[in-house]
Amino acid sequence: MALTQTSARVAGVRTVHYADSQDRWLPAVMVLPFLLAITALVIIPLLWGIRISFTNSRIIGRAFTEAFTLANYQSVLTDPDTWHSLYVTAVFSLGTVIGSIALGLVTALVLTRAFPGRGIVRTLIILPWAVPHVVAALIWQWMYNPNYGVVNYAIGWIPFVTSQPNWLSDPNLALPAIIILNIWKTYPFATLVLLAGLQSIPDELYEASEIDGAGPVRRFLDITLPGLKHVLAIVVLLLTIWSFGNFVFIFLMTQGGPAGATNTLVVKVYFEAFRFFRAGPAFAMGSLLLLVAVLLTLAYAFIVRRGKDA
């Protein structure tokens, strides 16, 4: 009697276990095609590229027959141009992050207040985000045109200002001009995420702090900012990742010029590989960029996960 009971229980356990493992494998099987595609189209080329970065090959196909060398990394890291590009990339990313978040936060704060037409404004504000990068670049190229662009037309209205700057050809103005374009393109995203963050802060916290004696500035510093800390971290990281990897705007507007003023790392990698055909250094720099991107992504994943626990 006891024996049959035990064996029945074992059988029961086994059945449950079987069903359980089947349940566990099903999702894995369903993402398999996706994993295969990623492996074939992303991971293998990446590994291939990393491998090339350690050879003297000029031709991509022969990577695995070449000898191992660190020469590419040496030349990339000792090239002052690389460090200049890193500087340009940092300014571009930092400028975008600061500008986009500042503009996004102000817009989000305005949009939390009730005013006539708020619904329409909320919808219209997404437009720059929805416009494709190429279209945005063309629009702004035209707006920045020194002779018939709307930017210089607007400047003409400012009293006592007579200069008509050549935005994209002036080494001092080209980078700020593209940063402004990138801010314009990304601030709707910042606005939407910060708006959601603002709405998740309970009204009662503002009321409690008001009763405790806090004025508008203290309420912003003590309730709004801490309440947005987590979303802000996410927005900063995503904007950094995107700015860091932005290729289209610079390639279409200035091609890294004038005089390297907008030559960010990704643009430099592109020109190294496809204009000067220096595969080794290009792949070496690309591998370093990949490393930075992976670190940023890990930081992003970490912050998102921590927010979930909190």
Partner 1 sequence: MSTARLEQLSKQYDGHLAVDRINLDIADGEFVVFVGPSGCGKSTTLRMIAGLERATGGEIWIDGKPANHVSPRDRDIAMVFQNYALYPHMTVAQNLSYALRLRNWSRADIDRRVTEVARSLDLAPLLHRKPSQLSGGQRQRVALGRAIIREPKLFLMDEPLSNLDAKLRVQTRAEITRLQRSLGITTIYVTHDQTEAMTMGNKIVVMNGGRIQQADTPQQLYQHPANTFVAQFIGTPPMNLLRCRLEPQDGAIVARGAGVNIPIRLESLTVLRPKIRDGEFLIGFRPEDIVMDPGAAGNGVTGSADVIEGLGHESLVSVKEGENAFIARMSPENAAPIRLGDRLSFSVNPDRLRFFSAESGEAIRVP
Residues at the interface with partner 1 (CB under 8 A): 202, 204-205, 207-215, 218, 222-223, 226-227, 229, 310
**Whether the Cβ atoms of residue 247 and residue 271 lie closer than 8 Å to each other:** no
Nearer to partner 1, 81 or 212 (CB): 212
Taking the complex as a whole, how short is the minimal distance between the CB of residue 201 and partner 1, in angstroms?
9
Taking the complex as a whole, how short is the minimal distance between the CB of residue 220 and partner 1, in angstroms?
14
Nearer to partner 1, 7 or 199 (CB): 199
Rounded to whole angstroms, the Cα distance separating 304 from 104 reads: 20
Taking the complex as a whole, how short is the minimal distance between the CB of residue 79 and partner 1, in angstroms?
45
Cβ neighbours, 10 Å, residue 6? 10
Nearer to partner 1, 177 or 223 (CB): 223
Burial 57-78 (b: 16+ CB within 10 A, else e): beeeeebeebeeeeebbeebee
Nearer to partner 1, 170 or 210 (CB): 210
Nearer to partner 1, 79 or 222 (CB): 222
Taking the complex as a whole, how short is the minimal distance between the CB of residue 209 and partner 1, in angstroms?
7
- CA neighbor of 94 nearest in space, from 200, 224, 236: 236
Nearer to partner 1, 23 or 203 (CB): 203
Distant-in-sequence contacts of 11-16, Cβ < 8 A, 24+ apart:
none
Taking the complex as a whole, how short is the minimal distance between the CB of residue 222 and partner 1, in angstroms?
7
DSSP code string of 115-171: -TTHHHHHHHTTHHHHS-HHHHHHHHHHHT-TTT-HHHHHHHHSTT------TTTST
- CA neighbor of 249 nearest in space, from 160, 186, 207: 186
Nearer to partner 1, 66 or 222 (CB): 222
Taking the complex as a whole, how short is the minimal distance between the CB of residue 216 and partner 1, in angstroms?
10
**Whether the Cβ atoms of residue 112 and residue 196 lie closer than 8 Å to each other:** no
Taking the complex as a whole, how short is the minimal distance between the CB of residue 199 and partner 1, in angstroms?
16
Rounded to whole angstroms, the Cα distance separating 31 from 39 reads: 12
* Helical axes 133-143 vs 174-199, angle rounded to 10°: 130
Rounded (5°) CA angle 279-82-89? 110
Q: Half-sphere exposure of 38 toward its Cβ, with a 13 Å CA cutoff? A: 5
Nearer to partner 1, 161 or 208 (CB): 208
Taking the complex as a whole, how short is the minimal distance between the CB of residue 303 and partner 1, in angstroms?
16
